[in-house]
Amino acid sequence: MRYNERELLSLSRQPAEKAAEVLMRAPKKGSALKKRLVKLVVNFLFYFRTDEAEPIGALLLEHCSISQEEGKIFSISFLEEPERKYFFECDTEEQCLEWVVVLQRASYEFMRSSLAFYRDEILKMTGKDPLEQYGISGEARFQLGTRKV
């Protein structure tokens, strides 16, 4: 994915869907847990030093696995490198579960599959494709139809 640093910085300043100070450990060897402000904006998880306004990094939440580990810890790993995990420790198990759910729903893949599911359900109930009124046909560019198994 191509992006511009200035655009990414601008995105990091947008209102967050969820934000909190948590302990974070990057996948680098010898990395320790450090307090970070993490902020979810669309499908990017930005992380900041707690006393700085600019992010020190961002994770694009696509092609990744988000898992609740033990207790109040969750992890993010990417399909290309599943052994490289980012760990996040929350204050409570409830907060941890909230993060896991919101992060799993933040990906384009999840939104696309949800759109396809609800489109099919509305089509079954009404006999009309709800997206046709917006000029989006069944052969649309993003192929919103469900996968055949």
Domain locations in the chain as residue ranges: 5-106, 108-149
How do strand 81-89 and strand 64-68 relate by DSSP bridges? unpaired
**Tens-place pLDDT, residues 28-48:** 877 899 999 999 999 999 999
Task: Give domain 5-106's CATH architecture.
Answer: Roll (2.30)
Which residue is it, tokens 């810890």? Answer: 73
Interatomic CA distance for residues 36 and 24, integer angstroms: 6
Please report the pLDDT score of residue 28 as a whole number.
83
- pLDDT confidence tier of residue 138, bands split at 50, 70 and 90: low
Give yes or no for residue 149 having a pLDDT over 50. Answer: no
Residue linked to tokens 């006393």: 51
Range from 40-54, 67-81, 119-133 carrying the lowest mean pLDDT = 119-133
Is this structure's pTM higher than 0.85?
Answer: no
Residues 88, 100 contacting (CB under 8 angstroms): no
